[in-house]
């Protein structure tokens, strides 16, 4: 018996809100937020293939483009087995799509809920939508996952306002080779690629256009699931052939080098050198501190005249032993010109204090002197309210730093201020252990009294956000016909 054709449904004007609310529906079935996002990734890619086939202008019939029609025409109980076959078919496709679907599995065991999830994806046009393209929706969903403390996914997600500010400062060009050796979900690579598109030079030759499409951004990610999310994120943002290698970037010397490295390495430490095996001839010192190892790895990645921006935790600035040696070597071999000191809690990992270290890798100086002459420190953490989930840093918060950085202009034009001042390299090298844990704003101004009103505002904001999520979930349950009573949430009962 042929199942009835699906009825037309209204287009969803806010897919992020609707799709994220459905994650709560599946959570009771044991589907984690990360697993849910992975299923969305698969369904969105299948739907995009369908849209490419049916678009009015220049339709493209790609392998698997008929799969969405078959899914929509099937009954809910047929959809489950059909969906698994679609996942296998897409995994066998060449290049980017095949890598995104590698080891893909259906995690939504309830066929009725899977059917409703397919309906939700079908409500949105994922290609050619001004203001709300697939990449923007997927990025917003990843941000929701990162903010969910239960997932632990915050370590793979760098806040986008911070990434935007860093990319504005380093100004990628189409002649760069851009690498992130700990790319997470791909935020730095996506933002750099978007900057290149926005600033792509007019009249560029075919070779430079081809390079922009396939040979300019590269990532490495330790966790396979996260690497797939990064590849999908890059693909949905227009990178035709996302190149993300799965594995530990620290195990061996790099095969590919970069003119620009942008990265936020994981904050956790290794347990022992033997466990990680980082006995590399091109490292300055052996340490179980993964961030210090990544700092050394970034140096080996850079070509001469290359530049880098690396997110580091505070301990990288003052840790003794190997840390002191690595900092001394970095100041000597690189021009470590800027340190941005961020407030606590910028990342979802509570209490972690982070910084962004900017440096270039020039040719050695003929006189043997350190390549660093002065390091400018911008103090964004002192004498300011705490960062919370309900009051995160926004693009506006970074405007003063970007202006002080003077992107594209000589650092001789920088102007000292109450938050921004230079430290001479001889002063840095003469400190005990080459300590770079520097303060710009005076301590008495940096530690204001507890602001009870601000704390109350933060708590109110957190509660308001939770209420909005519950309201959105109730709306989704109502639209999908699911009872709101927890005792009868299972639609099969």
Note down pLDDT in tens along the chain; length 493 residues: 444 444 444 455 678 999 999 998 998 889 988 899 999 999 999 999 898 888 767 677 777 788 999 999 999 999 999 999 999 999 998 788 899 999 999 999 999 999 999 999 998 888 866 667 888 899 999 988 877 666 555 566 899 999 999 999 999 999 999 999 999 999 999 999 999 999 887 877 777 777 777 779 999 999 998 999 999 999 999 888 899 999 999 999 999 999 999 999 998 765 444 445 477 999 999 998 999 999 999 999 999 999 999 999 999 999 999 999 999 999 999 999 999 999 988 887 667 899 999 999 999 999 999 999 999 999 999 888 778 877 889 999 999 999 999 999 999 999 999 999 999 999 999 999 999 999 887 755 444 434 444 455 456 655 655 665 566 566 555 545 555 444 444 444 4
Are domains 15-137 and 152-446 of this chain identical in fold? no
pLDDT at 207: 78
CA proximity to 149, closest of 29, 32, 37, 25:
32
Distance from C-alpha of 169 to C-alpha of 378, rounded to nearest angstrom: 13
Whole-prediction pTM:
0.84
pLDDT at 395: 94
The answer to whether 457 and 451 have CB atoms below 8 angstroms apart is no
Distance from C-alpha of 428 to C-alpha of 424, rounded to nearest angstrom: 6
Question: Which CATH code fits 15-137?
Answer: 1.20.1260.30
Q: In what order do the strands lie in the sheet with 258-263?
A: 243-246, 217-221, 178-180, 258-263, 302-313, 354-361, 335-341, 374-379, 420-424
Distance from C-alpha of 46 to C-alpha of 235, rounded to nearest angstrom: 13
Domain locations along the chain: 15-137, 152-446
Task: Quickly list H helices, 215-272.
Answer: 224-236
- Contact residues for 16 (Cβ-Cβ < 8 A; gap 6+): 137, 140, 141, 144
User: In whole angstroms, how far apart are CA 231 and each of 37, 186, 269, 288, 407?
Assistant: 13, 8, 26, 29, 29
pLDDT at 459: 64
Helix (H) or strand (E) holding 218: strand 217-221
Residue located via tokens 């001469």:
304
pLDDT at 356: 98
Question: Which CATH code fits 152-446?
Answer: 3.40.50.150
- Contact residues for 26 (Cβ-Cβ < 8 A; gap 6+): 36, 108, 113, 117
pLDDT at 253: 94
User: In whole angstroms, how far apart are CA 137 and each of 13, 124, 131?
Assistant: 11, 10, 10
CA angle 29, 141, 290 (to 5 degrees): 95
């Amino acid at each position: 018996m042929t199942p009835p054709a699906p009825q037309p449904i209204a287009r969803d004007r806010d897919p992020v809100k609707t799709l994220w609310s459905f994650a709560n529906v599946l959570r009771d079935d044991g589907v984690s937020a990360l697993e849910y996002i992975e299923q969305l990734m698969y369904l969105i890619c299948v739907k995009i293939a369908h849209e490419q086939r049916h678009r009015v202008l220049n339709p493209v019939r790609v392998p698997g483009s008929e799969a969405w029609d078959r899914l929509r025409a099937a009954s809910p109980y047929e959809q489950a087995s059909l969906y698994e076959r679609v996942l296998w078919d897409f995994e066998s496709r060449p290049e980017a799509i095949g890598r995104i679907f590698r080891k893909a599995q259906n995690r939504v065991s309830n066929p009725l809920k899977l059917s409703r999830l397919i309906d939700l994806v079908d409500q949105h046009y994922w290609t050619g939508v001004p203001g709300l393209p697939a990449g923007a929706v997927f990025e917003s969903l990843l941000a929701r996952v990162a903010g969910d403390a239960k997932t632990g996914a915050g370590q793979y997600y760098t806040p986008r306002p911070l990434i935007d500010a860093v990319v504005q400062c380093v100004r990628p060009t189409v002649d760069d080779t851009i690498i992130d050796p700990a790319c997470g979900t791909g935020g730095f690579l996506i933002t750099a690629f978007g900057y290149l598109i926005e600033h792509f030079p007019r009249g560029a030759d075919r070779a430079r256009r081809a390079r922009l499409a396939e040979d300019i951004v590269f990532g490495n990610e330790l966790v396979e699931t996260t690497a797939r999310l990064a590849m999908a994120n890059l693909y949905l943002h227009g990178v035709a052939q996302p190149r993300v290698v799965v594995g530990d970037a620290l195990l061996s010397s790099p095969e590919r080098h970069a003119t620009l490295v942008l990265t936020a390495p994981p904050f956790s430490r290794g347990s022992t050198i033997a466990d990680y095996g980082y006995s590399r001839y091109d490292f300055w010192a052996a340490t179980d501190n993964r961030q210090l190892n990544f700092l050394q790895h970034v140096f080996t990645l850079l070509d001469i005249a290359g530049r880098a921006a690396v997110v580091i935790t505070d301990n990288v600035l003052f840790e003794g032993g190997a840390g002191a040696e690595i900092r001394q070597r970095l100041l000597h071999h690189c021009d470590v010109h800027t340190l941005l000191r961020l407030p606590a809690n910028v990342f979802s990992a509570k209490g972690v204090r982070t910084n962004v270290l900017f440096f270039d890798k020039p040719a050695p100086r003929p006189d043997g002197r350190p390549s660093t002459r002065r390091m400018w420190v911008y103090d964004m953490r002192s004498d300011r309210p705490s960062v919370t989930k309900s009051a995160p840093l926004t693009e506006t918060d970074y405007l003063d730093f970007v202006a002080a950085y003077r992107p594209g202009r000589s650092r001789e034009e920088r102007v000292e201020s109450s938050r921004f001042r230079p430290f001479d390299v001889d002063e840095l090298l003469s400190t005990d252990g080459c300590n770079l844990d520097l303060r710009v704003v005076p301590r008495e101004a940096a530690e204001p009294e507890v602001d009870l009103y601000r704390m109350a505002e933060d708590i109110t904001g957190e509660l308001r956000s939770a209420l909005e999520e519950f309201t959105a979930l109730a709306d989704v349950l109502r639209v999908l016909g699911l009872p709101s009573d927890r005792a009868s949430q299972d639609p099969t009962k």
